[in-house]
Amino acid sequence: MLEHGYNQQIKIVELLKENFTHIQTFNDYNSNNRAVLAQLKS
């Protein structure tokens, strides 16, 4: 799980797609992009 700033999610997901799968994104209580969960490729 990686917490990030509200405006960083798109770039983080792009970077994670290279080496991670099952990428999920989460919003905070104000509906701002806030966290990403991903599994390392095996």
The pLDDT of residue 27 is 98
Using one digit for the tens of pLDDT, what is the confidence trace for 30-41? 999 999 999 999
Mean pLDDT of 6-11: 97
Residue 41 to residue 33: CA distance in whole angstroms = 24
Check: pTM over 0.85? Answer yes or no.
yes
Residue 42 to residue 32: CA distance in whole angstroms = 31
Q: Which residue has the tokens 């966290």?
A: 35
Amino acid found at 40: L
The pLDDT of residue 21 is 98
The pLDDT of residue 40 is 98
